């Protein structure tokens, strides 16, 4: 599980995040939504120790039973042990000089595996993300965006993390590829029980994926709800506007939803 109590982050006197708390059980998905500039990405950075945030408590409890509690300032530390991060732009996230195979293997370099074991691990993880094995010898410039994003997913997965952060994982991809990668993500989560924290502004994606919804607005928590009830009865006017906008753009179905997950109701 991942539990964050009263996180706040200020940079040069500006309050970027103000009193954000959530608690996410293991194997579930939290989707963080909000306009651009609302602090979604800053939240990820703060959780990974890339920004000087203040916590009252941060508990991250991997399945090994090893609990970490940090109080006070959290700055310049390495990210949460046992977590990985998948970025928005897969081409920028991969080293252009390395083959995909090398990039993926680099993620567990510190484990000092033998060549054969390493190859084994890479091929397992490639089949998990539906990439053909010949992709290991390609460079990022030689594959499509969708395949590159799958490689990033593989790179995160090979370290067998308990928690994966996603920063807009689909927004660089086109509509069909988006849905196929989302499907792969779902399969992976079901197979390994990994906890996901996904920053997205696509509410259609969030509706199909999230167990919990966290909506940020100007760094404050506008809504923190179970996904079902968020889409059925949004907590505030602003959330209703967000859902309305997603309907207008066609990423959410038109009819107001009474119960259940929107995706299921719609099909």
**Per-residue x/- mask for another protein, residues 14 to 53, rule CB under 8 A?**
---------------------xx-----------------
Cβ-contact 147, 135 below 8 angstroms: yes
> In sequence order, which residues have a C-beta less than 8 Å from that of residue 8 and are 6 or more positions away?
15, 17, 18, 19, 20, 53, 54
Q: Which range of residues in 7-15, 17-25, 97-105, 200-208 is near another protein by CB under 8 A?
A: 200-208
Confirm or reject binding of residue 249 to another protein (CB under 8 A).
Answer: yes
Q: Does 102 bind another protein (CB under 8 A)?
A: no
The C-alpha atoms of residue 1 and residue 60 are separated, in whole angstroms, by 6
Q: Helix or strand or coil: residue 262?
A: helix
Provide the minimum distance between the beta carbon of 146 and another protein in the complex, in angstroms, as a whole number.
6
**Residue 228 near residue 44 (C-beta atoms within 8 A):** no
Stretch that binds another protein, among 21-29, 58-66, 167-175, 227-235 (CB under 8 A): 167-175
Tell me if residue 93 falls in helix, strand or coil: helix
Report the residue from 6, 73, 183, 191 that binds another protein according to the rule CB under 8 A: 183
* 189 is a site residue for another protein (CB under 8 A): no
User: How many CB atoms are located within 10 Å of the residue 204 CB?
Assistant: 21
241 scored as a contact of another protein (CB under 8 A): yes
Site for another protein in 108-147 (CB under 8 A): 130, 132, 144-147
Specify the 3-state DSSP secondary structure of 54. strand
Which CB sits closer to another protein, 16 or 215?
Answer: 215
Q: What is the DSSP letter of 211?
A: S
Question: Does 106 sit near another protein (CB under 8 A)?
Answer: no
Residue 110, Cβ neighbours under 10 Å: how many?
Answer: 8
Integer CA distances (angstroms), 139 to 85, 128, 177, in order: 21, 20, 20
Answer yes or no whether residue 175 interacts with another protein by CB under 8 A. Answer: yes
Q: Which residues make up the interface to another protein (CB under 8 A)?
A: 35-36, 130, 132, 144-147, 171, 174-177, 179-180, 182-183, 186, 201-205, 207-209, 241-242, 244-246, 248-251, 253, 261, 263-264, 266-267
């Amino acid at each position: 599980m991942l539990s964050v109590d009263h996180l706040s982050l200020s940079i040069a006197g500006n309050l970027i995040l103000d009193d954000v708390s959530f608690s996410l059980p293991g194997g579930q998905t939290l989707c963080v939504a909000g306009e651009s500039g609302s602090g979604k990405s800053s939240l990820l950075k703060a959780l990974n120790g890339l920004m000087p945030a203040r916590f009252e408590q941060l508990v991250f409890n991997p399945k090994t039973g090893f609990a970490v509690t940090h109080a006070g300032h959290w700055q310049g530390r390495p990210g949460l042990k046992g977590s990985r991060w998948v970025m928005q732009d897969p081409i920028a996230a991969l080293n252009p000089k390395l083959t995909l195979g090398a990039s993926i293997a680099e993620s567990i370099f510190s484990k000092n595996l033998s060549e054969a074991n390493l190859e084994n691990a890479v091929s397992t993880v490639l089949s998990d993300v539906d990439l053909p094995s010949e992709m290991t010898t390609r460079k990022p410039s030689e594959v499509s965006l969708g395949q590159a994003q799958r490689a990033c997913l593989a790179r995160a997965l090979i370290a067998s993390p308990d928690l994966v952060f996603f920063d807009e994982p689909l927004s660089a991809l086109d509509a069909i590829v988006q849905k196929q990668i989302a499907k792969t993500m779902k399969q992976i989560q079901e197979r390994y029980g990994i906890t996901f924290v996904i920053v997205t502004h696509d509410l259609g994606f969030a509706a199909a994926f999230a167990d919990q919804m966290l909506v940020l607005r100007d760094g404050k928590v506008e809504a923190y709800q179970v996904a079902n009830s968020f889409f059925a009865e949004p907590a505030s006017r602003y959330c209703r506007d967000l859902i309305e906008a997603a309907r207008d753009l066609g990423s959410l179905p038109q009819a107001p939803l009474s119960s259940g997950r929107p995706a299921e109701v719609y099909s």
